């Protein structure tokens, strides 16, 4: 989908994240320096003066919006965790690419209403403007949303993150943001939106990002319950019988109702306190522990309001563990 005024900054798959992993995530709002960056085909630089968004398909009024048009529309802020689903080539490997940010932009529903979306539309396809190859596939990065999610108030055409304009690396000048769903659905460098009565048929909705279930495949959409221990880290110096705070973050599309922590590798579990959430932010959990000398394997697991909980292993949201050493 090459247009005038844009070029690839870097081609090929790319990942950037803090060297300390989740142990760097000390802030309620994640600074951009600590927020992961991942792309399938490379990073795209777009001249804002040349950017436009085409809205077509099952709409009464096919629409083209320039950046100034979008900036003139009503905007809102929304706080949400932002998580990468991990590699679609290894979907059962937990990657822990996560942060918590504040997005600002135009609700997608307003753009769809402006284009007079048809009642026959059951999906909304969104396509990015980047190009290149991923896993021997070369085609546009296109994802889809069920119409109910596309019209949800939290889904945005984002212009800002944490109070600053989106950089090219973050998908600017405009990207889709789907709070509560894995980052693969939040299309960067968005260039077109199509209303349709079926799912998109491209590789990123068929070959990639589908999980097997007993009844067939399931799209990688809503984020399942997950939690991580931020502190202590394996490098922390812990002393016996000195109260130690074990704390971290828990999150999911549905609110987290409980978190448990184990200090003996899963032999026993203790209930942690869990803080509130704002929008679809992550939630902080804490447990005070007076450790005994020796090695300890710390684990955390959480459950959401529907009773869904983290699996022990072999899943992108598998239970997180931290090995620590306690001195005399």
Closest CA to 149 of 281, 256, 253, 282: 253
The Cβ-side half-sphere exposure at 88, using a 13 Å CA radius, reads: 23
Structural contact between residues 174 and 186, judged by C-beta atoms closer than 8 angstroms: no
Average pLDDT over residues 28-34: 96
> What pLDDT, on the 0 to 100 scale, is given for residue 2?
66
> What pLDDT, on the 0 to 100 scale, is given for residue 29?
98
Structural contact between residues 230 and 194, judged by C-beta atoms closer than 8 angstroms: no
Question: Tell me: the pLDDT tens digits for 260-290?
Answer: 999 999 999 999 999 999 999 999 999 999 9
> What pLDDT, on the 0 to 100 scale, is given for residue 3?
85
> What pLDDT, on the 0 to 100 scale, is given for residue 328?
85
Can you tell me the distance from the alpha carbon of 96 to that of 227, in angstroms, rounded to the nearest whole number? 9
Q: What is the pTM of this model?
A: 0.95
Structural contact between residues 130 and 39, judged by C-beta atoms closer than 8 angstroms: yes
Tokens at residue 322, please?
A: 């931290």
- If one compares 217 and 123, the residue with the highest pLDDT of the two is 123
Question: Tell me: the pLDDT tens digits for 163-219?
Answer: 999 999 999 999 999 999 999 999 999 999 999 999 999 999 999 999 988 888 899
End-to-end alpha carbon distance in the chain: 62
> What pLDDT, on the 0 to 100 scale, is given for residue 99?
98
Domains of the chain: 6-219 (3.90.420.10), 226-327 (2.60.40.650)
- If one compares 113 and 14, the residue with the highest pLDDT of the two is 113
Residue 146 has pLDDT above 70, yes or no: yes
Average pLDDT over residues 23-35: 96
Residue 1 has pLDDT above 60, yes or no: no
Closest CA to 319 of 274, 244, 265, 282: 265
pLDDT band per the 50, 70, 90 thresholds, residue 135: very high
Average pLDDT over residues 234-241: 92
Residue 77 has pLDDT above 60, yes or no: yes
> How many C-beta atoms lie closer than 10 Å to residue 153's C-beta?
12
Instruction: Give the β-pairing of 190-196 and 52-57.
Output: parallel
Structural contact between residues 46 and 189, judged by C-beta atoms closer than 8 angstroms: yes
pLDDT band per the 50, 70, 90 thresholds, residue 110: very high
Structural contact between residues 47 and 67, judged by C-beta atoms closer than 8 angstroms: no
Sign of CA dihedral 32, 81, 101, 259: negative
Residue 4 has pLDDT above 90, yes or no: no
> What pLDDT, on the 0 to 100 scale, is given for residue 129?
96
């Amino acid at each position: 989908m090459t247009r005038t005024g844009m070029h690839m900054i870097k081609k090929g798959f790319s990942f950037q994240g803090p060297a300390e992993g989740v142990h760097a995530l000390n802030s309620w709002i994640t600074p951009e320096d600590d927020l992961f960056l991942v792309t399938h085909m490379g990073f795209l630089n777009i001249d804002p003066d040349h950017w436009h968004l085409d809205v077509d398909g099952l709409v009464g009024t096919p629409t083209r919006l320039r950046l100034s048009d979008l900036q003139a529309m009503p905007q809102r802020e929304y706080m949400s965790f932002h998580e990468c689903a991990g590699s679609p080539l290894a979907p059962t490997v937990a990657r822990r690419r996560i942060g918590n940010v504040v997005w600002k932009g135009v609700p997608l529903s307003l753009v769809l209403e402006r284009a007079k979306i048809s009642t026959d539309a059951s999906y909304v396809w969104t396509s990015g403007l980047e190009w290149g190859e991923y896993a021997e596939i070369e085609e546009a990065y296109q994802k889809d949303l069920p119409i109910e999610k596309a019209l949800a108030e939290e889904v945005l055409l984002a212009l800002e993150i944490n109070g600053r304009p989106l950089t090219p690396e973050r998908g600017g000048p405009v990207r889709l943001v789907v709070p509560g769903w894995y980052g693969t659905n939040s299309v960067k460098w968005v260039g077109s939106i199509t209303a349709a009565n079926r799912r998109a048929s491209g590789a990123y909705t068929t070959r990639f990002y589908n999980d097997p279930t007993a009844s067939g495949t399931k799209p990688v959409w809503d984020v399942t319950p997950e939690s991580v221990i931020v502190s202590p880290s394996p490098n922390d110096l812990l002393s016996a019988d000195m109260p130690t705070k074990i704390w971290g973050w828990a999150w999911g599309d549905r609110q987290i109702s409980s978190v448990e922590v184990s200090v003996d590798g899963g032999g026993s579990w203790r209930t942690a306190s869990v803080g509130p959430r704002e929008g679809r932010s992550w939630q902080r959990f804490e447990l005070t522990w007076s450790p005994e000398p020796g090695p300890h394997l710390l684990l955390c697991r959480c459950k959401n309001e529907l009773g869904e909980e983290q699996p022990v292993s072999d899943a992108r949201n598998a239970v997180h563990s931290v090995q620590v050493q306690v001195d005399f």
